[in-house]
């Protein structure tokens, strides 16, 4: 929801939803300025660089899926089930433009599909079809495949730092 909700956080939202969107925004700022992401962005071809944020976001979802047990003791399948349950629980608060992608996400189990490079390619191609104007995002999975080892290295350097950053933010979250 953090990618869809704009402006001030609605005080009528449940505290956990406000916390999640606030945290998402903080993570985006941290990520956008992180040296590993700036380096990873340069790995994307100039023709697709303006779409690098989307490409890297989905590629890092892939690497997180591949290295899940390195970062979490929770089973990945349990985590994915919880995410889908939470999305359903908060459906009434979600912006209308999020309904269709959310429905597709759950039906097609995108979070599990990110584990394979084919799933990543399908996700990128799917995102490309949601743009109102043509983009060269279609086929962008080749950017990941071409730079796979370097992007994986970027992710493995970045993600532990993100975990540390988020741990520091936990003290600032509202309490329910």
Judge contact between 74 and 82, C-beta under 8 A. no
Judge contact between 27 and 170, C-beta under 8 A. no
Evaluate if pTM is beyond 0.85.
yes
Residue burial 92-110, b: 16+ Cβ < 10 Å; e: rest:
ebbeeebeebbeebbeeeb
The predicted-structure confidence for 94-139, as pLDDT tens digits, reads as follows: 888 888 888 888 999 999 999 999 999 999 998 888 888 888 999 9
């Amino acid at each position: 929801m953090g990618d869809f909700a704009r402006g001030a956080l609605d005080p009528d939202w449940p505290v956990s939803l406000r916390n999640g969107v606030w945290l998402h925004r903080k993570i985006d700022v941290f990520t956008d300025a992180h040296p590993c992401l700036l380096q990873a962005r340069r790995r994307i071809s100039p023709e697709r660089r303006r779409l690098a944020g989307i490409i890297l976001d989905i590629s890092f979802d892939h690497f997180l899926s591949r290295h899940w047990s390195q970062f979490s003791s929770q089973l990945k399948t349990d985590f994915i089930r919880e995410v889908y349950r939470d999305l359903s629980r908060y459906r009434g608060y979600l912006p209308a433009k999020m309904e269709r992608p959310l429905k597709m996400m759950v039906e097609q189990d995108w979070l599990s599909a990110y584990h394979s490079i084919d799933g990543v390619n399908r996700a990128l191609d799917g995102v490309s079809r949601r743009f109102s104007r043509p983009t060269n995002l279609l086929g962008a999975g080749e950017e990941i495949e071409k730079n796979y080892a370097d992007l994986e290295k970027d992710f493995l350097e970045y993600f532990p730092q993100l975990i540390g950053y988020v741990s520091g933010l936990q003290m600032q979250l509202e309490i329910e």
